[in-house]
Structure 1
Amino acid sequence: MRVLVQRVTSASVTVDGVVIGEIRPATQGLLALVGVTHDDDAAKAARMAEKLWQLRILDDERSAADIGAPVLVVSQFTLYANTVKGRRPSWNAAAPRPVAEPLVDAFADALRQLGAEVATGSFGSHMEVALVNDGPVTLMLEL
């Protein structure tokens, strides 16, 4: 599992012109782009949620857990793109939808169980993601 996390002051996901998830402006939070590979499971999703929730990347070296920062979770199979050869990415390392979708949901649910306010994108939809990166701070988390 890979999570590209960005510290944001606002973020939103829009599908078909409708905002379906957001972190409101002027609120420090985390945008988590989540990629799933073939050997991921619910235990990894829970460990990744804990890692993200406790990650000290907010102001004054605090974590989302410390301040109750909101998290916007968006599925992102392209995090497992292989671009070593040629000009066309290979998606072979990305888990197929029947595997990935429940694990992205499990990741979001694990964050909620930890106390996070979580908004999500729509798995498999064409999404427009808007954000204001704060810092900028962008990190890749892997298990």
Structure 2
Amino acid sequence: MGIDKVAFTGSTKVGQLIKEAAAKSNLKRVTLELGGKNPSIVFADSDLQLAVEETQKGAFFNQGQCCTAASRVFVEEQVYEEFVRRSVESAQSIVIGDPLDPRTSHGPQVSLLSYSPPSLLFIFFGSLSDRCLDSRADTVC
């Protein structure tokens, strides 16, 4: 059985292994989507509530454990403080628990590393100055 092409989405390390293996087996065609950071951008003239809702969906969908999870949010300076306030408020309303409980909005993580900050938190950049985001018991700077 011949394989014409290999497609892989995942870590850079595994992608390198796949590329090497494909090269050694008659130079198979390979498509690799590796280690993306998937940023969201919020401009000052955005519908701020919609921006909060959509960036949170992008970050927390499937417990944030998917290759397309939004892992960065860039926010224009004029709306930075309000966006962070609303985002923290929204994130604090997430119910973590048993996925079979209808009140739960965030089920189990695949590993402790996936659960550890900053994996579950946004890091916001409103300007070039240093900023921190406080959420739950952790501070991310």
TM-score by length of 1: 0.32
**Structure with the bigger percentage of strand:** 1
> Larger Cα Rg: Structure 1 or Structure 2?
2
**Structure with the bigger percentage of helix:** 2
By relative contact order (CA 8 Å, sep 6+), the higher-ranking structure is 1
